[in-house]
Chains A and B, each alone.
Chain A
């Protein structure tokens, strides 16, 4: 690697074509972050539309708005989309954008691998959605329990699309996790010790380890399923002496850590936002970090709590139930830490703060629901009912989505240089908060009243009609909020209030540079002597941008990696290899060729090591 000192490249947009090329070949973590977020939001909207269709079908008893087969496909795609194509990419996107800035790095450790990840996510998602136009979408649920997924019970190719699409995005997740781990461990600026890292960086680190260790289990489960469906094996077939329960073990060994894979970064986000808007440091930093690590470890020991009704021996079930409950301790520690960060603070209720505080309040409800489900006998009544739907939407919508929305309002000025409109934002928040509770709180009652999950319709006279209708109304209120949010983004991109370097008086390093930051992130870094590098402890305020610039030592040794087509080529190759398995083998052969060309070009490209 040659260090160069010539003038920095100034990004200049010449035409739409060069803009397109710029985005397709970018290796800049910030652009890649934006691509992840944009793709994720697109899939979030698609998943939301699927949810709305489901709610319309369930608005009243015995409705025939959707054929049950269509309903099952939408149900499967809603779950799969929200987890794999919305939550994970959006979180990875914010991580991509913010983590290198927060630790004072120029980029991620492997810029091209980073680009490969985002293209694999987008192409894998498209491959999954191609199923709608190729004979039918997957229909066996995002959890895909065998043997409902076998060729006998799901004869069209939907499940094959599901397997292959998720494998492609899975490669993306593992590669980006490796990238995060190396970046966070190995690219911290001088002074950025582990115990000075922002909590969000910590959560991204732990989440990345969870992905690295949890995803292979899903991959194996899917490979075996693919063999069963296409090569005549019977890994999940009772007829040959195997057991369908194997799928559940493999799936949940991945699936439970997956829950924390999406919630931990959300924890990290609010741990950044609440302190800044309370104008106080995070309460109990060490406890918060230890709790994050503890949750990471425990999450690998609780998978069978999804399986209490499959006939586990009682002692085993009790052990898994007890282990699951133990997670409540580190989670409670976090909740109290957030609350006491606000305690005796000076709280500024921006939209970001409204979402962050709502997250804390709603996540408590989700956590309490979890206690019921961890006690095995109660779970025998509540599992596979709407109580579970209520519970995990309080953790995933109330948890992940609310904090992601907080993160949008918080980091949007950094990413675009403009603030989102705060007035629209407050209405967005109100609609989301009210709609969310209206949709999901009544589902607790529905579960207690014996309404099973995943039913395409239900009989009248069981006491389910009213609350289902309320939930549907709530879903439309949420949609109105989300529409307003999208409008707000479009409006604010054009004429939002200019943000300046540090609109919220934040103290982590991303606020030490311009908004948006230059390609090389920082001209120079201020000294890092504490967890809050931009905090003037003597005067109890953040340093102004000018002060920060004055403190920063200009770095003359800036080397940026050149743009590259190869990540896109390799991603196309990988996706084509996968697509060939559902379409025709010729595509796989072509895919291998493209892949090899891509790898050869990648290895030979100048400007990298």
Chain B
């Protein structure tokens, strides 16, 4: 029977272990192959804070690799060298211990740890110094989207965070529902968004670019859908963005969009969403004043006419369990009405 044969062959297990461990080690060098275009790999930092943490990580990795090679090497050596050759090998010498050896590895481990603890402390103290002159952004974790408010500029936006390059930005984290965690891997570590307490964190992006962010604390059905993007812009571009966002919503031009604007009020959308300069002042869902300046719908799909239509018509199919659907499922919309709403939303540059 084949299994019996394999089982018998497996007596040569040391070679097999060597193959397995070898391929494991090889895979250490392999992860870069599986990379996509722009992974949120935190060891490729784009801010001073993230760079410090990556440095601490790399020092620990060096220590860990040394320990790994020594200990696993020792295990491999011992199991290969001391395996029983014949069933009637004599019993080995009965060693009960060796105080000197035991003291050596206790001391060795302690010294390695002490080294890590020192670097750890240095990084901690450097990171603790928070800036006084930063831009402040209030970050609100919602189920399941992010609201970003710039009190200085009077701007509120959703799921897309714009920050200036080369300037510290301080984030004030608030939640009126469950615990979330604010995280942009390449810019800085996590900070939880806890109801009843205002946590703070900050970072300073050093390179312009688009960064992946995501809620990192389990927060309910659509935890996975609570993604956001960070756009770090050079100062002038950031200022231009601020001025654009400060404008009230553009008036709808064509007939379809005008119909959409009416439907937005009459179908109850305005109960939850705000559009500056109109009667829509809801604060439950994202502010849609400049909806068409965003790249995504609900943080999860690229914004196109087609995807906005799908979202308006049946958001449950895109983000199952989302809270808007609890109301929307009772609001019948015809294809024409969806089209009009899409036209209106897509006009809100």
Interface residues of A (CB under 8 A from B): 67-69, 72, 140-141, 145, 147-148, 153, 238-239, 242-245, 278-281, 283-287, 309-311, 314, 317-318, 321-322, 325-326, 328-329, 332-333, 335-337, 339-340, 342-349, 354, 357, 360-361, 364-365, 368, 371-372, 375-381, 383-385, 421-427, 430, 433-434, 437, 441-442, 445, 448-450, 452-463, 465-467, 537, 540-541
Query: In the complex, which residues of chain A have a beta carbon less than 8 angstroms from the beta carbon of B68?
Result: 364-365, 368
Query: In the complex, which residues of chain A have a beta carbon less than 8 angstroms from the beta carbon of B265?
Result: none
Q: How far is the CA of A541 from the CA of B92 in the complex (A)?
A: 10
Query: In the complex, which residues of chain B have a beta carbon less than 8 angstroms from the beta carbon of A238?
Result: 194-197
Interface residues on B, range: 35 or more
Asked if A357 and B75 make an inter-chain contact with CB atoms under 8 angstroms apart, the answer reads: yes
**With A148-B220, A383-B190, A450-B41 as given contacts, are A332 and B84 in contact (CB-CB < 8 Å)?**
no
Judge if B128 is at the interface, Cβ distance under 8 Å: yes
* B10 nearest in chain A by CB position: A426
**With A145-B218, A449-B40, A462-B40 as given contacts, are A384 and B320 in contact (CB-CB < 8 Å)?**
no
Judge if B162 is at the interface, Cβ distance under 8 Å: no
Q: How far is the CA of A360 from the CA of B50 in the complex (A)?
A: 34
Asked if B179 and A244 make an inter-chain contact with CB atoms under 8 angstroms apart, the answer reads: yes
Chain-A contact segment, one of B98-106, B146-154, B277-285: B98-106
Query: In the complex, which residues of chain B have a beta carbon less than 8 angstroms from the beta carbon of A140?
Result: 218
Q: Mark B41-72, 1 if CB is under 8 A from A, else 0.
A: 11100000010110011001101100110011
Chain-A contact segment, one of B27-35, B266-274, B339-347: B27-35
**Chain B positions 189-206 with a Cβ under 8 Å from a chain A Cβ:** 189-192, 194-197, 199-200
Judge if B224 is at the interface, Cβ distance under 8 Å: yes
Q: In the assembled complex, how far is the CB of residue B322 from the closest CB belonging to chain A, in whole angstroms?
A: 10
Asked if A309 and B212 make an inter-chain contact with CB atoms under 8 angstroms apart, the answer reads: no
Q: Which single member of A239, A283, A342, A368 contacts B96 (CB below 8 Å)?
A: A283
Q: In the assembled complex, how far is the CB of residue A79 from the closest CB belonging to chain B, in whole angstroms?
A: 11
Q: Mark B75-118, 1 if CB is under 8 A from A, else 0.
A: 10011001110000111111111100110011001100100110
* B184 nearest in chain A by CB position: A450
Q: Which single member of A332, A426, A540 contacts B94 (CB below 8 Å)?
A: A540
Which one of B36, B82, B97 has the highest number of Cβ atoms from chain A below 10 Å of its Cβ? B97
**With A147-B178, A309-B192, A449-B40 as given contacts, are A371 and B13 in contact (CB-CB < 8 Å)?**
no
Q: How far is the CA of A537 from the CA of B75 in the complex (A)?
A: 27
Asked if A375 and B179 make an inter-chain contact with CB atoms under 8 angstroms apart, the answer reads: no
Query: In the complex, which residues of chain B have a beta carbon less than 8 angstroms from the beta carbon of A286?
Result: 97
Asked if B221 and A68 make an inter-chain contact with CB atoms under 8 angstroms apart, the answer reads: yes
* A383 nearest in chain B by CB position: B190
Asked if B224 and A285 make an inter-chain contact with CB atoms under 8 angstroms apart, the answer reads: no
Chain-A contact segment, one of B1-9, B132-140, B163-171, B247-255: B1-9
Q: Which single member of A141, A354, A457 contacts B224 (CB below 8 Å)?
A: A457
Query: In the complex, which residues of chain B have a beta carbon less than 8 angstroms from the beta carbon of A459?
Result: 227, 300
**With A153-B178, A281-B96, A463-B34 as given contacts, are A423 and B3 in contact (CB-CB < 8 Å)?**
yes
Query: In the complex, which residues of chain B have a beta carbon less than 8 angstroms from the beta carbon of A376?
Result: 120, 124
Query: In the complex, which residues of chain A have a beta carbon less than 8 angstroms from the beta carbon of B84?
Result: 346-349
Judge if B315 is at the interface, Cβ distance under 8 Å: no
**With A67-B320, A368-B68 as given contacts, are A462 and B191 in contact (CB-CB < 8 Å)?**
no
**With A287-B97, A344-B92 as given contacts, are A445 and B189 in contact (CB-CB < 8 Å)?**
no
Q: In the assembled complex, how far is the CB of residue B57 from the closest CB belonging to chain A, in whole angstroms?
A: 5
Asked if B64 and A461 make an inter-chain contact with CB atoms under 8 angstroms apart, the answer reads: no
Asked if B102 and A287 make an inter-chain contact with CB atoms under 8 angstroms apart, the answer reads: yes
Judge if B215 is at the interface, Cβ distance under 8 Å: yes
Asked if A437 and B94 make an inter-chain contact with CB atoms under 8 angstroms apart, the answer reads: no
Asked if B67 and A368 make an inter-chain contact with CB atoms under 8 angstroms apart, the answer reads: yes
* The 10 residue pairs across chains A and B that have the minimum distance between CB atoms: A380-B189, A238-B196, A423-B7, A450-B40, A455-B224, A463-B39, A450-B185, A466-B34, A426-B10, A238-B195
Q: In the assembled complex, how far is the CB of residue B154 from the closest CB belonging to chain A, in whole angstroms?
A: 27
Query: In the complex, which residues of chain B have a beta carbon less than 8 angstroms from the beta carbon of A449?
Result: 31, 35, 39-41
Judge if B127 is at the interface, Cβ distance under 8 Å: yes
Asked if A347 and B82 make an inter-chain contact with CB atoms under 8 angstroms apart, the answer reads: yes
Q: In the assembled complex, how far is the CB of residue A179 from the closest CB belonging to chain B, in whole angstroms?
A: 32
* B4 nearest in chain A by CB position: A423
* A458 nearest in chain B by CB position: B224
* A150 nearest in chain B by CB position: B178
11 residue pairs of the A-B complex, CB under 8 angstroms, read: A68-B320, A244-B194, A325-B117, A333-B106, A339-B71, A361-B72, A368-B64, A378-B53, A423-B8, A434-B20, A461-B36
Asked if B79 and A347 make an inter-chain contact with CB atoms under 8 angstroms apart, the answer reads: yes
Asked if B91 and A541 make an inter-chain contact with CB atoms under 8 angstroms apart, the answer reads: yes
Asked if A145 and B4 make an inter-chain contact with CB atoms under 8 angstroms apart, the answer reads: no
Asked if B10 and A430 make an inter-chain contact with CB atoms under 8 angstroms apart, the answer reads: yes
Asked if B60 and A371 make an inter-chain contact with CB atoms under 8 angstroms apart, the answer reads: yes
Q: In the assembled complex, how far is the CB of residue A273 from the closest CB belonging to chain B, in whole angstroms?
A: 14
Query: In the complex, which residues of chain A have a beta carbon less than 8 angstroms from the beta carbon of B96?
Result: 281, 283-285
Q: Which single member of A280, A311, A422 contacts B7 (CB below 8 Å)?
A: A422
Q: How far is the CA of A381 from the CA of B215 in the complex (A)?
A: 12
Query: In the complex, which residues of chain A have a beta carbon less than 8 angstroms from the beta carbon of B3?
Result: 423-424, 427
* B1 nearest in chain A by CB position: A423
Q: In the assembled complex, how far is the CB of residue B178 from the closest CB belonging to chain A, in whole angstroms?
A: 5
Asked if B109 and A332 make an inter-chain contact with CB atoms under 8 angstroms apart, the answer reads: yes
Q: How far is the CA of A427 from the CA of B4 in the complex (A)?
A: 9
Judge if B18 is at the interface, Cβ distance under 8 Å: no
Asked if A243 and B82 make an inter-chain contact with CB atoms under 8 angstroms apart, the answer reads: no
Query: In the complex, which residues of chain A have a beta carbon less than 8 angstroms from the beta carbon of B181?
Result: 309, 384
Q: How far is the CA of A147 from the CA of B128 in the complex (A)?
A: 28
Judge if B209 is at the interface, Cβ distance under 8 Å: no
Q: How far is the CA of A242 from the CA of B320 in the complex (A)?
A: 31
Judge if B331 is at the interface, Cβ distance under 8 Å: no
**With A321-B120, A346-B91, A368-B64 as given contacts, are A462 and B109 in contact (CB-CB < 8 Å)?**
no
Asked if A463 and B224 make an inter-chain contact with CB atoms under 8 angstroms apart, the answer reads: no
Judge if B159 is at the interface, Cβ distance under 8 Å: no
Asked if A381 and B57 make an inter-chain contact with CB atoms under 8 angstroms apart, the answer reads: yes
Q: How far is the CA of A361 from the CA of B190 in the complex (A)?
A: 31
Asked if B101 and A437 make an inter-chain contact with CB atoms under 8 angstroms apart, the answer reads: no
6 other A-B residue contacts (CB within 8 Å) besides A148-B178, A311-B197, A372-B64: A286-B97, A326-B113, A335-B71, A383-B216, A442-B27, A459-B300
Q: Which single member of A148, A339, A378, A385 contacts B78 (CB below 8 Å)?
A: A339
Q: In the assembled complex, how far is the CB of residue B184 from the closest CB belonging to chain A, in whole angstroms?
A: 9
**With A69-B320, A427-B3, A455-B224 as given contacts, are A153 and B177 in contact (CB-CB < 8 Å)?**
yes
**With A69-B221, A311-B197, A452-B214 as given contacts, are A377 and B117 in contact (CB-CB < 8 Å)?**
no
Which one of B38, B68, B95, B212 has the highest number of Cβ atoms from chain A below 10 Å of its Cβ? B95
Query: In the complex, which residues of chain A have a beta carbon less than 8 angstroms from the beta carbon of B11?
Result: 349, 426
Query: In the complex, which residues of chain A have a beta carbon less than 8 angstroms from the beta carbon of B185?
Result: 381, 450
